[in-house]
Amino acid sequence: MAPTLAYSDQKVFILGDSLTHGFGLAVEDSLVNQLSNWFANAGLEVTFINGGVSGDTTAGGLERLSWSLTDDVSALVVALGANDVLRGFPPELTRENLSAIIDIAANNNTPVLLIGTYAPGNYGKQYKLQFDAIFTDLVEEKNIAYIDSYFKPMLDDVKNGKDVSYLLQSDGLHPNPAGVKVIVEYISPQLLKFLRKEKIIR
């Protein structure tokens, strides 16, 4: 058994949408549960709070952040933006909302890790360029941690001509349990690095 490390009972709030919430999945297969298991198997005591709401936008996340970011939250992961794209929101609005979320956390002395998302090409090249740049621009401006996308491993496979449909639910949008495992294996080491840098765990 791996040793339990110091800094126990740390709480990480994940502010997200249906992917964070676990749309179409049993609780044990959800992102937050698989993430918790990954850290537990590494001997790390961290509580991940499921702050995912299916269909949520950056505006919705901003509205509920004030009562979600309680005093016992050690760090905030922000994984919003995909539904902004689906609804065709102007990139400047998404940027404004994410910036406000980050500022609220900063004022609360809560470290932030931002998870990006990519716009599809059907809104045009200019929209995609503006939207995709939101996340890297905010990371540089706010000096916060960053993971480029939950779906980066799958997107890389698609670019290499591989079929990833076996990792998705029937809607072709949300990951199935195997897809969530791929996501967790990708983001967990980066999340661990962030939490150690912020001295939340060691």
How many Å apart are CA 18 and CA 53, to the nearest integer? 6
pLDDT of residue 7: 44
CATH of the domain at 113: 3.40.50.1110
The angle that helices 152-159 and 177-197 make with each other, rounded to 10 degrees, is 120
Residues 135 and 81 sit within 8 Å (Cβ to Cβ): yes
- Spatial neighbors of 124 by CB under 8 A, at least 6 apart, are none
54 assigned to some structural domain: yes
The more confident residue out of 63 and 120 is: 63
pLDDT of residue 66: 87
122 assigned to some structural domain: yes
pLDDT of residue 88: 92
154 assigned to some structural domain: yes
56 assigned to some structural domain: yes
Q: 14-61: per-residue pLDDT in tens? A: 999 999 999 999 999 999 999 999 999 999 989 999 999 999 999 999
Q: 145-161: per-residue pLDDT in tens? A: 999 999 999 999 999 99
How many Å apart are CA 152 and CA 189, to the nearest integer? 14
Q: 90-99: per-residue pLDDT in tens? A: 999 999 999 9
Positive or negative, the CA dihedral 187, 126, 158, 50 is positive
1 assigned to some structural domain: no
3 assigned to some structural domain: no
Q: What is the full DSSP assignment across the chain?
A: -PPPPSS-SEEEEEEESHHHHTTTS-GGGSHHHHHHHHHHHTT--EEEEEEE-TT--HHHHHHHHHHHS-TTEEEEEEE--HHHHHTT--HHHHHHHHHHHHHHHHHTT--EEEE-----GGG-HHHHHHHHHHHHHHHHHHT-EEE--TTHHHHHHHHTT---GGGB-TTSSSB-HHHHHHHHHHHHHHHHHHHHHTTS--
Residue 6 CB neighbours (<10 A): 9
- Whether residue 1 is predicted with pLDDT greater than 70 in this model: the reply is no
- Whether residue 5 is predicted with pLDDT greater than 70 in this model: the reply is no
Structural tokens at position 121: 């090409």
How many Å apart are CA 101 and CA 61, to the nearest integer? 8
Residues 58 and 86 sit within 8 Å (Cβ to Cβ): no
pLDDT of residue 121: 86
2 assigned to some structural domain: no
The total number of structural domains in the chain stands at 1
The more confident residue out of 9 and 105 is: 105
Full domain range(s) for residue 112: 10-197
177 assigned to some structural domain: yes
Structural tokens at position 63: 């509205």
Q: 123-179: per-residue pLDDT in tens? A: 999 999 999 999 999 999 999 999 999 999 999 999 999 999 999 999 999 999 999
